[in-house]
Structure 1
């Protein structure tokens, strides 16, 4: 049996962060400290954990993490006012609104209030459009992480058939566009797709972004497929049945320590990128 390539996201993230450390030090030398403002609305435990993880990652690199914790009863208008203040604050380089937000808030309106220059999580419609045209400064972080993993391990994209399972506006759709812009032939599948297993069998590259634990089965894969699991579910399992898919795949991301660590590294990179743009102006 051919040796399996485990796409080690922790390794890729650590190398990215070492490169960022040098850039953060250079900015510090001219009096600029990159700053990521993270907005958490309410007290969802999973969201609190994610925000804390991102804050800790910032601190380890010397990036300022400004945490804004708002009451869950806040209105859309009040949230947009907070975002507008952060847009105007020259010391803030990136804004991240942790989602999901409470039901009474118009999440899309809140995302759209974020300045394109500070949309380091790639959630605005303008950021999405720029990504579609291939020139986004800050594409959505998980799609950017998937592309970074493919590039780090020099996995060919051009001419390959990629099947993306999931069509969310910050994962499935943007990663489909990024693969298309790199000359892959892309099929985007979703909950209404019929004969999903037959679609996956055609794929050279499979991106699982469906939000269901162990959903992608090993028997669906063609031998030698590359599998990128962007899911994270209770019990530290992804959207892929890892053990079964490992038997068929030539390369695969584990969960945890696959796409997740690189996603956070891309968020930090985008924040540093934004700070460097400030320095130039």
Structure 2
């Protein structure tokens, strides 16, 4: 049994709406001789990371966005990676740069992120991009947090005055989505591995964002009847961070995994690349 009039938040529908709005913008850029271009940088041979990069490249091609794939061996040093990123910064034909994370151990990931030109930081991973997002004026907020906000907007789910609980505090997901919800006038509680009595806090939430990276972590009896549940997790076997069946019994709206937040994240990355192409104009 599910909550009355429950909404399944279809990420594919949201992603399609974003991409449809990009088509005319890409055509207008083409008339100026500009093809938006996303460069993805993959270090090492992690199968999951390689799959993500391939998915993003395929999404680019389907929409008419150029995609450059830079592959570096697992033994790449921080300095070598930064050098590769700086070359992309200097390449006028590249409008967006995505460093696939996590990078192999031994590389200073934060130093690598900081090497990305803020004008091409389409995944919102730099410190400056994070700060701009916190202040509410980032050109390119982190893609998954932006995708979560896009889903709430598409389905016209209220944020103002609601209590949002975010489970996870990573600098590219938990923290930025907390800031975005706060800027949208939600009251936000950000939880993490040291939060005491997490289930009791989640039970207070009107909006739950699960971004903890643990399969089926959020349980059904944690969800307040009528809450909106957004699952930003993706674990092996197409499993999210939310126990879907159990949580769906209580939620008024919930994202599935797959076909929830994931497709919207990719569509947001494409949008940011087009935004960057329009700003850079080359």
Deviations 1:253-275 (CA, angstroms, capped at 9, x unpaired): 00000000000000000000000
- Spell out the pairing of 1:1-281 with structure 2 (5 A cutoff): 2-279=4-281
In 1: Cα distance, 2:156 partner to 2:57 partner: 31
Structure 1 unaligned blocks of 5 or more: none
Question: Deviating runs (4+, > 3 A) in structure 1?
Answer: none
Number of residue pairs aligned between Structure 1 and Structure 2: 280
Q: Distance in 2 between matches of 1:26 and 1:46?
A: 35
| TM-score, normalisation: structure 2 | 0.98
Cα distance between partner residues in 2 of 1:45 and 1:241:
25
Q: How far apart in 2 are the matches of 1:22 and 1:217?
A: 43
Distance 1:236 1:88 in 2: 38
Over residues 159-207 of structure 1, what are the superposed CA-to-partner deviations in whole Å (9 max), with x where a residue is unaligned?
A: 0000000000000000000000011000000000010000001000000
How much has 1:244 moved relative to structure 2?
A: 0.6
Cα distance in 2 between the residues matched to 1:155 and 1:15: 17
Partners of 1:150 and 1:77 lie apart in 2 by 40
CA distance in 2, matches of 1:111, 1:52: 21
Unaligned runs of 5+ in 2: none
Distance 1:2 1:39 in 2: 45
In 1, the alpha carbon distance for the partners of 2:101 and 2:219 equals 29
Cα root mean square deviation, aligned:
0.8
Instruction: Provide the rounded CA distance (Å) in 1 between the counterparts of 2:218 and 2:112.
Output: 33
Q: SS of the residue aligned with 1:66?
A: strand
SS at the partner of 1:38? Answer: strand
Counterpart secondary structure, 1:23: helix
Quote the offset at 1:18 in angstroms: 1.2
